Structure 1
Amino acid sequence: MKNRPGRKRGIWAIALLILGVTLIGGPFALMVSLFSGAHYVGNAMLPTIADGDRVLLKRNPPEVRRGDIVTYEAVEWQGSGTSVGRVVAVEGDHIAYVNGESTLTLNGQPLDEPYVLDGAPGAPGVAFAVSVPQGRVFILGDNRGNSADSRYYSELQQGTLPVSAVTGVRTAEDNVVMAVLGLASTVGTLALSVGIGLGIAALVARRKKPVPAGPVWGAVHVDEA
């Protein structure tokens, strides 16, 4: 029994459509579960992040490290609402600033902070010396002259926040995970397009009427004289 016209193309079309939907839907679902985007509002993170900049975040990070730019919910400080800052010290660290000094000190050593606005490590009149308790972090804005951060809540656990208050860590848009997910989505889009094209071709082939082969019944045969 002969295959119906367009059968092979139809099979390829179905396979490519399934592959395309999987490669597009899978990475999209994974990206939504792992990452989130937010528009930053404010000047506390200048010059690193400006007002209105879009920030890509990794949700619920398993680890928070020194130098990470994070989103956090400081309920202890200001009630509800999400803020953005930089983690400058983690549990076990001793972070300090003396008015007039050119740098903060971390565990007794000068802390290099090239990201700080105008190279100003602290705000005038706001000195501190904090030993970060276990499971907590010390957070500052990069614009030290205009940032409501750990320095101003010393009466609450020395201005430290629990790691659980961190809701996301800023990540580069060109990191490996994002690149792989983007590639998978691109391949999925291509597979979906080819699958749709093959599906249309298969339907067209099936609707074409086959040309009859051999003699046609009812035809009149005329002998030449």
Structure 2
Amino acid sequence: MDAGTARRVTVTAWVVGLLGLALVAGSLVWLRTGYVLSRVNGDSMSPTYVIGDRIVAERVGGDEVRRGDVVLYSAPERYGSGVDVMQRVIGVGGDRVVCCEAPDTPRESITVNGERLSESYVKDGIADGLHRPYDVTVPEGRIFLLGDHRQNARDSRAFPEDRAGTVPVDAVRGRVIDSFVGPVLLGVATLLGLLIALFGLILGIGTRVMRRRPAEQTALWPEHL
């Protein structure tokens, strides 16, 4: 391999290797900053999510969540430091959440701004189950959350003395989504980046070996005359 060709191949090896490393770094950063991966450890969101389920949440600002969204949030003063809680958003800033219409009957329900919620996701069709009526107007910049298993959820209802149980939107870490496509694609991109970087490394080492070989052969040739 002549010197000019060797230099071009070496440059190519460097470019390929750096591109591979950039792909790895970019994918890992995107995965870390764009998603939260977790596992369900409690029963408060059954039957929608049960113990052991793996979940993925896309990182969004708390002001982006809407009624009906399932979110991960942190409230260390309630649940302890480092604990992510998964619950469903029932009311956002300005909403009036009232429980319960027709209590102690199969038609028990929650209303938001006077409209009865249709909650097919709640366990056994029970909208509350605790029989503790509440009438909450959610302050701006906060959200009211409930678990889907209303009889076994320590949610906004458990903290009426703290802004009627509402949580600041800044506490939201992510919105739970049903698709793992994003994280999987980023994982594939990371693997691809590693393979590209490895190819660049092998190409660079091979070029270095080929450049040294003629010199070694020239140095050894006279000794064999």
Task: Return the TM-score normalized by structure 2.
Answer: 0.78
Q: 1:78/1:209 Cα in 2 relative to 1: closer, same or farther (>3 Å)? A: closer
Match of 1:93 among 68, 92, 95: 95
How big is the shift at 1:17? 0.2
Tell me if structure 2 keeps the 8 A contact 1:76–1:156: no
Aligned to 2:202: 197
Which 5+ residue runs of structure 1 have no aligned equivalent?
220-225
Q: Does residue 168 of structure 2 align to residue 162 of structure 1?
A: yes
Superposed structure 1 runs of 4+ greater than 6 Å apart: none
Pairwise CA distance, 1:182: 4.4
Whether the 8 Å contact between 1:67 and 1:86 is mirrored in structure 2 is yes
Do the aligned partners of 2:40 and 2:53 also contact (CA within 8 Å) in 1? yes
- Post-superposition offset of 1:76: 5.3
Q: CA deviation at 1:138?
A: 0.6
Any stretches of 5+ residues in structure 2 without a counterpart? Answer: none
| TM-score normalised by the chain length of structure 1 | 0.78
Counterpart residue number, 1:74: 75
Query: In structure 1, what is the Cα distance between the partners aligned to 2:213 and 2:121?
Result: 68
Using the alignment, how far apart are the partners of 1:175 and 1:138 within structure 2? 29
Deviations 1:87-124 (A, max 9, x none): 11101112222213343222222212222222222114
SS across alignment from 1:70: strand
2-structure distance, mates of 1:161, 1:69: 14
State the secondary structure of the residue aligned to 2:88: strand
Superposed CA RMSD: 2.9
| Number of the residue aligned with 1:61 | 61
Contact 1:61 1:169 in 2 (8 A): no
User: What is the alpha-carbon distance in structure 2 between the residues aligned to residue 7 and residue 133 of structure 1?
Assistant: 66
Q: Distance in 2 between the 1:41 and 1:53 partners?
A: 8
SS of alignment partner, residue 169 of structure 1: strand
Identify the residue that residue 83 of structure 1 maps to in structure 2.
85
Alignment of 1:94-173 (within 5 A): 94-98=96-100, 99=103, 100=105, 101-173=107-179
Task: Give the letter for the 1:45 counterpart.
Answer: M
Identical amino acids, percent of aligned pairs: 35
Query: What secondary structure, in the 3-state scheme, does the structure 1 residue paired with 2:136 have?
Result: strand
Mapped to 2, the partners of 1:14 and 1:103 lie a distance apart of 64
1:7 aligns with 2:7: yes
Q: Deviation per CA, 1:150-173: give whole Å up to 9, x if none.
A: 123223322222222323332445
Q: Cα deviation per residue 1:186-218 (whole Å; 9 max; x = unaligned)?
A: 442342232133223313322333788xxx9xx
